Amino acid sequence: MTLLLSLILAICTGPGLSESSLRVRLVSGPHRCEGRVEVEQNGQWGTLCDDGWNMENVAVLCRELGCGAAKGTPRGLKYLPLPDKNQDIVNQQITCSGMEDSLAQCKLEELDYGICTHKEDSGAACDPFPFSETVRLADGPSRCEGRLEVKHQGQWGSVCKAGWNLRAAKVVCRQLGCGRALLTQAYYNRAVQGPWPIWLSWVSCSGKELTLQKCSLSPWGGSTCTHDQDTWVQCEGPFELRLEGGDHCSGRLEVLHKGLWGSVCDDDWGEKENQVVCKQLGCGKPVSRPPHAKKPFVPGVGQIWLDDVRCSGNETSLEQCRHRLWGYHDCTHKEDVAVICSGP
């Protein structure tokens, strides 16, 4: 995460939130995707001050909760029953770009004027239906690769590849919770052609949109394309990780690709990358070894999948970090990455 919440999220009636204990929820609303915003500290839930609270923040919160599109920033007072007057309040201003995966990755600043009361509690309204229910990749080898389909008026239809580019593919991959968009030749399997309509003739995206529906779209229906021109999208699938040779939270790092486990080269690997691995595995924080200590685990055999992995430390999973193309490296297994985390 960008900043440790133990240093930056101070609750006015108690100590700061710790990164490992942070949870977010919406309470007292009509469904789990709308309500008053609360965050947890050591088993105690506190409300969030609404100073600086905006739609970009709500968009991130909706994504974090697995909800659909951000719909509004209602006042927390709207939702009954009201919080207990003694309930903690987070007196911090949160500033998100709208692209983060969680509120913890946003910029968090101390308020330099007074403290909030429960009359200023934040609220959030998200669509209860996830974004992924309006976009899918069909008839491919996985949910992260296939023919692009969008839902309109309750019916799935395809998208013509006219003007399609990597920027638009990035939006789709982000919307589906997959990894990076990959350059791929347009492909369509005629054996699985169906009777569905072609909903969109063209799509134009900047690459920064949260969903495909936020891009510039042609009018729905009325396309002159044929199904031979359907758009095919390929994303990296979510990384599956494991630590071998120790226990669940320590060992030689391996990633799964194309059904085969392989190791990761330690070129440019450091503390930030360790943080992301421990976070993704739910294993706390990395435990440092002496700088010249021998690696504590036996080198792997077979495939070396990744090299030159670079993370900022903000990522929630390794798939969000930069790396060379799968299988391209200049390493031997003597350079396999090993990670030791503090534990679940």
Q: Is the pLDDT of residue 191 over 90?
A: no
Q: Is the pLDDT of residue 133 over 80?
A: no
Confidence of residue 189 (pLDDT cuts 50, 70, 90): low
Domain residue limits at 250: 241-340
Same-domain check for residues 78 and 170: no
pLDDT at 146: 87
Say which range, 24-28, 63-67, 332-336, has the weakest mean pLDDT: 63-67
pLDDT at 185: 59
Say which range, 1-10, 166-175, 285-294, has the weakest mean pLDDT: 1-10
Q: How many domains does the chain have?
A: 3
Confidence of residue 304 (pLDDT cuts 50, 70, 90): very high
CA distance 193 to 203: 21
Q: Is the pLDDT of residue 11 over 80?
A: no
Confidence of residue 131 (pLDDT cuts 50, 70, 90): low
Same-domain check for residues 88 and 159: no
Confidence of residue 130 (pLDDT cuts 50, 70, 90): low
CA distance 84 to 80: 11
pLDDT tens digits, residue range 197-246? 999 999 999 988 878 888 999 998 878 888 888 899 988 776 788 898 87
Tokens found for residue 83: 């919080």
Q: Is the pLDDT of residue 263 over 90?
A: yes
- Strand 34-41, strand 70-72: pairing: unpaired
CA distance 167 to 162: 14
Same-domain check for residues 138 and 114: no
- Phi, psi (5° rounding) for residue 161? -80, 5
Side-chain half-sphere exposure of 21, counting CA atoms within 13 A: 15
Contact in structure between 213 and 206 (CB atoms under 8 Å): no
pLDDT at 47: 92
Rounded mean pLDDT of 323-331?
A: 84
Q: Is the pLDDT of residue 306 over 80?
A: yes
The neighbouring-strand residues paired with 179 are none
Same-domain check for residues 40 and 148: no
* Percent of the chain at pLDDT exceeding 70: 85
CA distance 63 to 134: 15
Domain boundary among 234, 249, 267: 234
Same-domain check for residues 183 and 246: no
Contact in structure between 1 and 96 (CB atoms under 8 Å): no
Say which range, 32-36, 103-107, 196-200, has the weakest mean pLDDT: 103-107
**What is the domain-level CATH number for residue 254?**
3.10.250.10
Rounded mean pLDDT of 309-318?
A: 82
Same-domain check for residues 273 and 324: yes
Same-domain check for residues 119 and 14: yes
**Against a cut of 0.75, is the pTM above it?**
no
Same-domain check for residues 37 and 80: yes
Look up tokens 């369509």; give the residue. Answer: 188
